[in-house]
Amino acid sequence: MPYEIPNDLFKLSPLPDERKEAYINMAKGWLPTMMAAVVETSEDGWKPCGMSDPTISNGVTLCKKVTEGNPVVMIRGQTIIPDYSVEDALMSQKSINTTARLRNGLHANDPMNIDSSVLHVLQKGDDPADDTPLAQIVWAAFQAPAVIWARDFCWLQYVDKTKDSKGRDAMVCACQSIDDFEQCHDLQSTHKYVRGYICTTGYIYTETDTPGEILVTYVVQVNPRGAIPKFVVNLVAAGQGENAGRVRDSTVALNSILKKFNKCVQDGDPTREHPRVRSIDVSSSLVYANKTQAETYTAEEDGLLEILIHPTCGDSIICNEDTYALDKLTGLPPALRMNVVKGQEVEIVFRNKSSSAFGKKFKQVWWYGHVLGRRSSSEASLATSLPTQKKKSKGIMHKIKKTISPKKKTPVVVEKIKVVEKVVEKLVQSEQDVETAYKRGFLGGVACCVVLIAVALQLR
């Protein structure tokens, strides 16, 4: 498991409003440069990264440009993302506004990541779907190849919606280092982290002339500083543009999972029209080999709670001591079901019994919880509220039996939990329809990790 530094490593204090405003205004000034990079050509100094013109790798068009006063080249990668919108991209990027979400996304997608932290949120809306831009100060550290010291970075990130030169919708996630932020002190003497510098870097999502698809442009210019020769940095820099392709592929994969979730939600209660499950509505958990990961769901209504579970890096995961597997024919996710009352906190414990020596070091589990407009006494029992009591050991033979004959949950098999008889009886007597709850989830896919993965790859 990646090493996480203490939360109090940096002595943070509130920033004055005038300083917040200065940072936000500075970040707004980056947007014209980022938008220009989308449409600039060879006349503006862009050249193909390889021998062919254009240079295309894995469906990504790669270019490079030398900028005045910077020894490190700027790289641009561009590709098309199907079945996606600028609005979807905007919500995804703006949802990564906490340390927990940032850590989850980086740990999931970059093995070089040591740790990361959102140090200050300068501006954000009440919901990623609103019009308020996201501005925040971020820190992250990344391992480097043997003999080379690790690198860390402190940068200002700004996410906002804008227009391209043709008046079409566009979205920019711009990042640049800020050396004047004294609260993020240098860690070279204590942790042997060399502080690198992020120049013009970020993602731009723009509409195209084809409905239902968007162009993603990734621009990266990172100086690792330290003793790494700049010609070596420039020699391997072209590969960083391929992050645009990784964003495309991860977005397509997540869209496939969302379609499955939406089908299950609609099929589970076809009598009503349900809001579309979006990327910001789902949660992601990393479950490392031989480890458990506990999550909490808070019910927003009385009714039958359904939690759809979609593991990746494997087609099954243990949840609350039972195995949940994707349907072999349809690929649809299984569901954990239990009766809940409004405000009840339900603990969900994922367990990964696989060994990192023989496979992936973690499984990533996408899950989505919502309350159906009914309660059930026959399908599921009342969920046990937090805190849950530790189960007593039943001896070695019980463990052997569980290992040999694990129970598998399919989309039609429900969770069996200890029934609290009197409460269930009361729930059945007062059974009534309720509205489906809106579950605030979080998206931790690669497409939300913005420039962070690219920063790490720059130093490999």
Residue 70 maps to which CATH number?
A: 3.30.530.20
Whether 56 and 199 share a structural domain: yes
Q: Give percent above pLDDT 70 in the chain.
A: 79
pLDDT(427) > 70: no
* Per-residue pLDDT, 33: 96
* Per-residue pLDDT, 110: 82
Residue 337 maps to which CATH number?
A: 2.60.120
Whether 32 and 150 share a structural domain: yes
Whether 450 and 424 share a structural domain: no
Cα–Cα distance measured from residue 90 to residue 96, given in angstroms and rounded to the nearest whole number: 11
61 vs 441: which has the higher pLDDT: 61
Average pLDDT over residues 291-301: 94
Q: Is residue 111 part of a domain?
A: yes
Query: HSE-up of 51 (CA within 13 Å, CB side)?
Result: 0
Whether 195 and 58 share a structural domain: yes
Q: Is residue 274 part of a domain?
A: no
pLDDT(172) > 70: yes
pLDDT(400) > 50: no
Whether 240 and 327 share a structural domain: no
Beta-sheet pairing, 150-163 with 193-195: parallel
pLDDT tens by residue, 31-49: 999 999 999 999 999 999 9
* Per-residue pLDDT, 450: 38
Whether 405 and 332 share a structural domain: yes
Beta-sheet pairing, 213-220 with 193-195: unpaired
Mean pLDDT is lowest, of 212-221, 277-286, 439-448, for 439-448
Q: Is residue 259 part of a domain?
A: no
pLDDT(431) > 70: no
pLDDT tens by residue, 337-361: 999 999 999 999 999 998 765 567 8
Q: Is residue 328 part of a domain?
A: yes
pLDDT(401) > 80: no
Helix (H), strand (E), coil (C) string for the chain: CCCCCCCCCCCCCCCCHHHHHHHHHHHHCCHHHHHHHHHCCHHHCCEECCCCCCEEECCEEEEEECCCCCCCCEEEEEEEEECCCHHHHHHHHHCCCCHHHHHHHHHHHCCCEEEEEEEEEEECCCCCCCCCCEEEEEEEEECCCCCCCEEEEEEEEEEEEEECCCCCEEEEEEEEECCCCCCCCCCHHHHCEEECEECCEEEEEEECCCCCEEEEEEEECEECCCCCCHHHHHHHHHHHHHHHHHHHHHHHHHHHHHHHHHHHHHHHCCCCCCCCCCHHHCEEEEEECCEEEEEEEECCCCEEEEEEEEEECCCEEEECCEEEECCCCCCCCCEEEEEECCCCEEEEEEEECCCHHHCCCEEEEEEEEEEECCCCCCCCCECCECCCCCCCCCCHHHHHHHHHCCCEECCCCCCCCCCCHHHHHHHHHCCCCCCCCCCCCCCCCHHHCCCHHHHHHCCC
Average pLDDT over residues 20-28: 98
Cα–Cα distance measured from residue 247 to residue 79, given in angstroms and rounded to the nearest whole number: 9
Whether 231 and 334 share a structural domain: no
* Per-residue pLDDT, 302: 93
pLDDT tens by residue, 360-390: 788 999 999 999 866 655 544 555 444 444 4
Whether 305 and 225 share a structural domain: no
Q: Is residue 127 part of a domain?
A: yes
* Per-residue pLDDT, 426: 39
* Per-residue pLDDT, 25: 98
Cα–Cα distance measured from residue 65 to residue 436, given in angstroms and rounded to the nearest whole number: 51
Instruction: Categorize the per-residue pLDDT at 275 as very low, low, confident or very high, splitting at 50, 70 and 90.
Output: confident
Decide: 201 and 190 in contact? Cβ < 8 Å.
Answer: no
* Per-residue pLDDT, 111: 80
pLDDT(206) > 60: yes
Task: Tell me the residue type at 275.
Answer: P
* Per-residue pLDDT, 454: 34
Whether 211 and 346 share a structural domain: no
Average pLDDT over residues 72-96: 96
Q: Give percent above pLDDT 90 in the chain.
A: 66
Closest CA to 217 of 258, 172, 168, 274: 172
Cα–Cα distance measured from residue 313 to residue 374, given in angstroms and rounded to the nearest whole number: 34
Q: Is residue 258 part of a domain?
A: no
The total number of structural domains that make up the chain: 2
Cross-strand bridge partners of residue 367: 283, 309
251 vs 430: which has the higher pLDDT: 251
Q: Is residue 268 part of a domain?
A: no
Q: Is residue 439 part of a domain?
A: no
pLDDT tens by residue, 307-335: 999 999 889 999 999 999 999 999 999 99
Cα–Cα distance measured from residue 223 to residue 195, given in angstroms and rounded to the nearest whole number: 10
Mean pLDDT is lowest, of 58-62, 163-167, 388-392, 433-437, for 433-437
* Per-residue pLDDT, 5: 76
Within 10 Å of residue 265's Cβ, how many Cβ atoms? 21
* Per-residue pLDDT, 270: 81
* Per-residue pLDDT, 356: 65
Whether 329 and 210 share a structural domain: no
pLDDT tens by residue, 85-136: 999 999 999 999 999 999 988 888 888 899 999 999 999 998 898 899 999 9
Domain that holds residue 135: 17-252+446-457
Whether 34 and 127 share a structural domain: yes
Whether 182 and 238 share a structural domain: yes
